[in-house]
Each structure stands twice: as structure tokens, then as C-alpha cells.
């Protein structure tokens, strides 16, 4: 049986490059394609989740939205890895900082991804799985960040299953973010752990690159429109990395 198209991606394997950038927001996917790729072609628009393929510095690259949360990126990354021949996925998204040394607009590389999700239970493992990034993607991306002179941090992210917590009655030091921060977790986002697990199971590569859009502790934040289309350093960094593979 021909598995194409899937319920979520109306395309064929030849429509995608081996490396895909995955922002959460479909409008950010469109922004990257139109502003960075040569001759971008819309290859998927099921449910408005826009996917494009073009070239960056002569290298074929695709960009497609993942939606919000681990269930959503879990579906799209699984299909890209297992049905469409994609080898590398770079998540390019936003994160809420926890660490005092991290600031809005800093770039974060998720060397690992803790999680509050039970996503790993779907793999029926006899213990706890530690989702990590691919070393080659991570090393290449950090190298490009150095070349570009960017402010960046490498470490653990927290992939949370929820955006709103009913914990207003807790003291500040007992808040979930503070407790994760005590373990050195840099920031909170909602997708990396599922992406890393799907990559591990498929024998493929993954890396989460996030720009800090707000700070959970200090309250500093960026407006929604700036989150959508102003993270250009992160986008260029991810594309330079994609061109290496």
C-alpha cells in the first residue's frame, strides 16, 4: 500500500529535502521560506501546516511547521522520518528562560530535553529514556553560532505538556520552574523531547534550537508579532547548519 499522502502531509518523499527546519508556527515557516530560501515551493498545506522546499546556499532544505506541543510535533516528525525520507530535523522555536544568566533573545541549544510528558511510555521501555540531541548537528550549530558572534547557551531544556499550571498558591521557590532550574535546566518549551525520541527510534538526527522569547522568573517578554518573524539570527543559524548535511 502506498503510504503517501499521510493524513497530515499531502506530498511525496521527493518533495522534501533530507533536512527540515520545524518552527511551531505555520506563519514562521512561510517567513523562513520567503526570506531565506531560493525558489521555495509549497509542498504541504494540510490543516494550514505549511511546508516548503527550496535551497539555501545551493543546498536543498525544507521548512514545515510542527504545531504546538509534543503530540503535534510527534506526528509530523514521525511521518517525515519514517515515510518521507527525512534524515535531519532542526526545531526552531521559542522558549521561556529559567536561568538567571539567560536573557531574552539569547539562543539555546537543547543538548538534552527533560519532560513532564509520558510520551516515552509509548516505546514500552523498562526504564526512563533520556532524550538527547544529535551530536553532529549540535556541534555544527554551535560552530556557526560562534562564527556569527551570537549569545548562546548549551544544556538541558524542559519539554512541558502544559502551558498553564494551576500553582498560584505555591511559594516562588516551590514553583515548578524554580525546581527545574535547581537542576540546571535552561528553559521551558513544548516539543524537543518528542522530537528527540522519534529521531532516536528512527535512527535519524534531531536538534532543538530556541530563541528566548520570555523569562519565566523576571517576566521579561517579546510580543507575539516579534516572536513570529524577528528571530532571524536563529533562522539563519539553523539554515547554515542544514547546509552542512
| Among 214, 229, 233, 244, the one annotated catalytic | 214
| pLDDT averaged over every residue in the chain | 90
Instruction: Assign 58 a pLDDT band (cuts: 50, 70, 90).
Output: very high
User: Half-sphere exposure of 21 toward its Cβ, with a 13 Å CA cutoff?
Assistant: 35
Q: How do residues 206-242 score in pLDDT, each as one tens digit? A: 999 999 998 888 878 877 766 655 589 999 999 999 9
Judge whether 214 counts as a catalytic residue.
yes
How many CB atoms lie under 10 A from the CB of residue 142? Answer: 19
Q: Which of 176, 183, 127 is nearest to 155 (CA)?
A: 183
Query: Is residue 34 helix, strand or coil?
Result: helix
In 178-244 the beta strands, taken as DSSP E runs, fall at 187-189, 205-215
pTM for this entry = 0.92
Exposure string over 104-115, b if 16+ CB within 10 A, otherwise e: ebbbbbbbbbbb
CA dist list (Å): 232 to 62, 154, 236: 17, 19, 6
Amino acid at each position: 500500500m502506498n503510504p503517501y499522502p499521510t493524513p497530515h502531509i499531502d506530498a511525496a518523499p521527493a518533495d522534501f529535502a533530507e533536512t527540515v527546519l520545524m518552527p511551531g508556527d505555520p506563519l514562521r515557516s512561510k517567513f523562513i521560506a520567503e526570506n531565506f530560501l531560493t525558489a521555495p515551493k509549497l509542498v504541504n498545506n494540510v490543516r494550514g501546516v505549511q511546508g516548503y522546499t527550496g535551497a539555501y546556499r545551493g543546498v536543498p532544505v525544507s521548512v514545515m511547521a510542527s504545531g504546538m506541543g509534543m503530540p503535534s510535533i510527534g506526528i509530523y516528525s514521525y511521518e517525515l522520518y519514517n515515510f518521507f525520507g527525512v534524515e535531519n530535523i532542526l526545531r526552531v522555536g521559542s522558549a521561556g528562560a529559567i536561568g538567571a544568566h539567560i536573557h531574552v533573545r539569547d539562543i539555546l541549544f537543547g543538548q538534552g530535553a527533560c519532560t513532564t510528558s509520558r510520551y516515552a511510555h509509548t516505546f514500552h521501555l523498562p526504564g526512563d529514556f533520556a532524550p538527547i540531541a544529535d551530536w553532529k548537528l549540535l556541534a555544527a550549530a554551535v560552530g556557526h553560532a560562534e562564527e556569527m558572534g551570537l549569545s548562546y547557551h548549551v544544556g538541558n531544556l524542559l519539554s512541558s505538556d502544559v502551558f498553564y499550571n494551576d500553582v498560584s498558591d505555591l511559594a516562588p521557590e516551590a514553583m515548578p520552574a524554580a525546581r527545574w532550574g535547581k537542576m540546571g535546566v535552561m528553559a521551558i518549551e513544548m516539543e524537543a523531547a518528542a522530537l528527540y525520541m522519534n529521531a532516536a527510534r528512527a535512527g535519524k538526527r534531531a536538534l532543538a534550537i530556541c530563541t528566548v522569547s520570555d523569562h519565566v522568573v523576571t517576566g521579561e517578554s517579546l510580543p507575539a508579532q516579534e516572536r513570529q518573524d524577528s528571530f532571524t539570527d536563529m533562522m539563519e543559524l539553523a539554515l547554515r547548519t542544514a547546509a552542512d548535511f
